[in-house]
Amino acid sequence: MKLVEALKLLRERPPEGAESFRAFLACGFTPLHLETFLGAHLRRRRPGLAVGTATGLYGDLTGSLRRLTEEPGDLDAAAVVIEWPDLDPRLGIRGAGSWSPEVLPDVLRTAAERAEWLAEAIVKASERVPLAVAVPTLPLPPASFEPGWQSGAFDLNLRRTAADLAARVSRGRGVRVISQSRLDERSPLAARLDVKSELTTGFPYQLAHASDLAEALATALLPPPPKKGLITDLDDTLWRGLVGEVGAEGVSWGLDAHSQAHALYQMLLGSLARTGVLVAVASKNEPEAAARALAREDLALSKDDLFPVEVGWGAKSEAVSRILRAWNVGADGVVFVDDSPIELAEVKAAHPNIECVEFPRGDDEGAYRLLARLRDLFGKSALLEEDALRLQTVRQSAAAAEEVNGGGDSSHTERFLEQAEAELTLSFDAGASDARAFELVNKTNQFNLNGVRYTEALWRRRLEEPGGFLMVTSYKDKYGPLGKIAVLAGRREGERLRVGTWVMSCRAFARRIEHRCLAALFERFGAREIEFDFAETPKNAPLRAFLREFAEVDGGGRPRLTRETFAERCPPLYHKTFQTG
Amino acid sequence: MGTETRLLNCFSAVFPDAGEDELRRAAMGATESWDSMASVTLVSLVEEEFGVQVAPDDLEHFVSFRQVLGYVEGAAEKSAL
C-alpha cells in the first residue's frame, strides 16, 4: 500500500452505525507513517469497523506499555513494535554513545535486562488487551568489530535475546508475534531502514517496510476466521497417478517415485485433521480401487482422519453437497482441492462460496506454495480441547442423525433422546477468558441470535456490564463428548433477562440443548421473561425457526418468551444437568 | 498524469478538506493545518510519488505548493540530464 492510498483510505467514512475498533500503537520511535499504515490496513481488513488509532509518547515504549496495563480504557487491541534501540539506545543511529569493543558486553547486558522487562510488561498488558508484537525488524547497526559478512558473538547474542523475548511473550494469552520469516518474504532486509528519515524525523522505516509491517500487525490483530473443512480429490492430488488405471499399489507418494509433493500434502492433511479441521474426499473413481489405496499402510495420514469419503462417478459438486450436509458446515468455511480446473469450476459453479484451490500437478514448487497457503487458511493461534474432538463429534452427529431419522416418526426421536444418556454442564463461571466460548461466538453462523462478532476487548466489556451473565454449555452422551457447544450471554433487568448473544454449534442440533439452556436460565435467575436481541442474518434460519416456535414478537420487533409459554411449549427434556459457578 | 496533477494528489492526501484552488495556494503559515507533521508527510508523499530523495537541505522548498512544484520539476530536469 502506498502512503497516499493509506491516507485516502483513512479519510473514507465508515459505514453508518459501524462498530468502533480502537487500536494503540506502542513503539519507541516516532510512529508517524506506521500509525497511518496500521489504521489503513485495519480498515482494509474490516471495512465495516470504525477504526481509530492512538500512540504513546515519542521514545517512551515503557510508558506506553504501562498505559496498556494500567489504563487500557476502551482499547480493542494494541500493536507493540520493538526495535534494537529499545533494547539499548546504543543500538540506534540517533545517539552519540560509544561502539568501542569494550562497551559491547555492557550493551549485551543492558539488552538482556531490557528484554526481560519488556517481556514481562507485554505479557501483563496482554491480560488486558489483545496484542500483536513485532521484535526488531531492522538490520543491526555496524556497532561490532566483525566484518558484516561474519556473525560474531555480539550479533548472535543480541539476536538470541530478541528471539527469547519473542518466544516468551508468545506464551502470553492474546499475544500474537509477527512472523519474521513471513515479513522477510515481503520486505527485504536491505530495504527497511531509512537512514535519512531516522536522522531527520526519528521515523526509521522506508515506506514500503512500514506498510508491510503494518499489514502484518493488522492481520495479527484482525485475523481471518480459519476455514473449517477441506475436501480433497484423490488421483494426482492426494497421490500421484490414477488409481483406476494403475491400481492401489501403482499410485505413489514419496521421494523414490518422484512424488514427494503428494506425501507432503498428505502430511499436511494429517496435521490439519489433528487440529480439528474436517477432511473429506470427493473423487471420481471406482470405490473399491480408491478404498484399497486409502487402506495402504504407508499413507502419511490415517484413513480415519478422512470423513466422509465420497467416491463414485457422479458430479463432484453433488459429492461436495453431501459432505457439507454430513459436516453441517457452510460452503464458505470450506476449501476444495483438486488437480482438475474443470472439476474446480464445476464445484465453484454449484457452491460459489467454497474456496477452490488447484493442486499443481507435476510442479513441486507450486505444491510447496500450496502447503503454505493451506496453513494460512486453516492456521489457528492456539489449539483447544474441542479441536481434538471435532471429527469424532461429526461422526457421532452423523450416527445420531441417522438414528433420529431412522424411524421416520416422532416416537423414534423421543426414544433416541431418552436413551442417549445426555449430560449437560452449564457453566456460569467461564468468563471472558474462555477461548472456546469466544471462538464459538465468532464462528457460529446457523444457530446464532444475531450474527454479531466481537473483538476480545469488546467481548470482555459486554460481559462486565452491570447484571451481565455468561452461560457456557458442554455436552456429552453415550456416543461421546461434544465439548463446549453453546454460549448464551446477556444481562438481568429486574425479572427479565435480555439475551444479546446465543450461539450453538451445529453439531449439537437435534438434542434439545437449546430448550435445556432456556430452562436453566429461567430456573437460575427466577426470570419471568426472556427478551432476545434477535437479528436475521443470511444464515441463522435454525435459530429463527426455534424462536418462531417459542417466542412472541413485541411491538418493537423483539422476540420475548415468558416462563409460562416456555413451560407450555417445551418438549420433554431427558438430559442430566450440572451447574458450575 | 502531469506533474502538477500528481502533486495536487499528494497535497490533497495531506489537506483533504481543501479544494483544488486552495491546494494550489497552499503555503505554510497561510494554510491552517500545515504543521510539522503535514510537512513530514508531504516530503514522504513527494518521495513516493516522484521517486526522488529529498535532502535535508532541500526541506526549505517545502513551504508552499508552488515551491514544492518548482522543486519537483527541477529534480525531474536534473535527472533527465
- Whether B44 sits inside 8 A of A200 (CB atoms) is no
Q: How far is A13 from chain B (nearest CA, A)?
A: 13
Question: Measured between CA atoms, how close is B12 to chain A, in angstroms?
Answer: 9
- Show the 3-state SS of A177-203: ECCHHHHHHHCCHHHCECHHHHHHHCC
Residues from chain A contacting residue B55 (CB–CB below 8 Å): 196
What's the pLDDT score for residue A172? 86
Could B13 and A201 be called an inter-chain contact, meaning their C-beta atoms sit closer than 8 Å?
Answer: no
Residue A485 sits in the same domain as residue A506: yes
The residue out of A357, A378, A399 marking a domain boundary is A378
How confident is the model at residue A412, as a pLDDT?
67
Give helix B36-50 / helix A3-11 axis angle, nearest 10°.
Answer: 130
Cell numbers for A542, please give them. Answer: 435454525
Same domain, A415 and A513: yes
Tell me what pLDDT residue A482 has. Answer: 83
Dihedral angle sign, alpha carbons of residues A293, A295, A296, A301:
positive
The pairs formed by A371-377 with CB atoms below 8 angstroms and a separation of 24 or more are A371/A264, A371/A265, A371/A268, A374/A230, A374/A268, A374/A272, A374/A335, A374/A337, A375/A268, A377/A226, A377/A227, A377/A335
Regarding whether A172 and A24 lie in a shared domain, the answer is yes
In chain A, which residues touch B (CB < 8 A)?
Answer: 2-4, 7-8, 11, 32-33, 36, 196-197, 199-201, 203, 207
Using alpha carbons only, what angle is made at residue A576 by residues A570 and A578, rounded to the nearest 5 degrees? 110
pLDDT tens-digit series, residues B26-73: 999 888 889 989 999 999 999 999 999 898 888 888 999 999 999 999
Cα within 13 Å of Cα(A8), Cβ side? 11
Domain range for A144:
3-221
* Residue A457 confidence (pLDDT): 81
User: Cβ separation of A32 and B53 shorter than 8 Å?
Assistant: no
Are residues A549 and A469 part of one domain?
yes
What is the C-alpha to C-alpha distance for residues A559 and A548, in angstroms, rounded to an integer? 9
Q: What CA–CA distance (Å, rounded) separates A241 from A243?
A: 6
Residues β-bridged to residue A484: A474
Do A264 and A312 fall into the same domain? yes
- Distance (Å) from the C-alpha of residue B13 to the closest C-alpha of chain A? 6
Q: Are A292 and A363 within one domain?
A: yes
Q: Which of A333, A358, A378 is the last residue of a domain?
A: A378
Three-state SS for A22?
A: strand
Q: Which residues of A touch B14 (CB under 8 A)?
A: 7
Are A170 and A199 within 8 A, CB to CB?
A: no
Under-50 pLDDT residues of chain A: none
Query: Same domain, yes or no, for A89 and A192?
Result: yes
Which chain A residue is nearest to residue B39, measuring alpha carbons?
A201
Domain boundary among A199, A221, A243: A221
Q: Is the dihedral of CA A94, A97, A98, A102 positive or negative?
A: negative
Looking at the fold, whether A374 and A305 belong to one and the same domain comes out as yes
Whether residues A165 and A18 fall in one domain: yes
H helix or E strand, kind and range, residue A54: strand A49-55
| A531 phi and psi angles, rounded to 5 deg | -110, 140
- The helix/strand count (H/E) of chain B reads as 4, 0
Q: From the CA of A23, how many Å to the nearest CA of chain B? A: 20
Closest chain A residue to B36, measured at CA: A201
Q: What is the pLDDT of residue B50?
A: 93
What is the 3-class SS of A242-268, one letter each residue?
A: CHHHHCCCCCECCCCCCCHHHHHHHHH
Q: Per the structure block, which three cell numbers stand in for A488?
A: 448464551
- Please give the pLDDT value at position A336: 98
CATH code: domain of residue A288: 3.40.50.1000
Chain B residues within an 8 Å CB radius of A197: 44
- CATH number of the domain that residue A538 is part of: 3.40.630.30
Of A4, A200, A203, the CB nearest to B13: A4
Residues A262, A193: one domain? no
Same domain, A208 and A246: no
User: Cβ B48–A3 below 8 Å, yes or no?
Assistant: yes
Do the chains contact at B41 and A2, CB–CB below 8 Å? no
- What's the CATH code, domain B3-80? 1.10.1200.10
Q: Are residues A491 and A467 in contact, defined by beta-carbon separation less than 8 angstroms?
A: yes
Q: What's the CA gap between B53 and A329, in Å, rounded?
A: 54
Mutate to test the interface with B, among A1, A2, A7 (most CBs of B within 10 A): A7
**Interchain CB distance below 8 Å, A3 and B45:** yes
pLDDT of residue B79: 73
Question: Any idea what the CATH number is for the domain that residue A76 is in?
Answer: 3.40.50.1110
Instruction: Supply the pLDDT for residue A193.
Output: 97
Pick from A180, A127, A112, A129: nearest CA to A26: A129
Q: Quote the CA–CA distance of B3 and B8 in Å, as a whole number.
A: 9
Q: Is B41 in contact with A3 (Cβ distance < 8 A)?
A: yes
d(CA A490, CA A502): 9
Question: For residue A51, how far is the Cα from the chain centroid?
Answer: 20
Under DSSP, is residue A541 helix (H, G, I), strand (E, B) or coil? helix
Report the DSSP pairing between strands A278-284 and A229-232: parallel
> From A36, which residue of chain B is nearest by alpha-carbon distance?
B41
Determine, for residues B56 and A8 on separate chains, whether the beta-carbon distance falls below 8 Å.
no
Q: At what angle do helices A385-406 and A316-327 cross, to 10 degrees?
A: 100
- The total number of structural domains in chain A stands at 3
Tell me how far CA of residue A356 lies from CA of A282, A340, A349, A371, A427, in angstroms. Answer: 13, 11, 11, 14, 39
Identify from A1, A4, A32, A195 which residue to disrupt to test chain B contact, counting B C-beta atoms within 10 A and taking the largest count.
A4
- How far is the C-alpha of A1 from the C-alpha of A37, rounded, in Å? 8
Whether residue A133 contacts residue A175, with contact meaning beta carbons closer than 8 Å, is answered with: yes
A430 with A552, same domain? Answer: yes
CA distance A312 to B45: 59
Q: What is the pLDDT of residue A371?
A: 97
Is the pTM for the entire model greater than 0.80?
no
Phi, psi of A553 (to 5 degrees): -95, 130
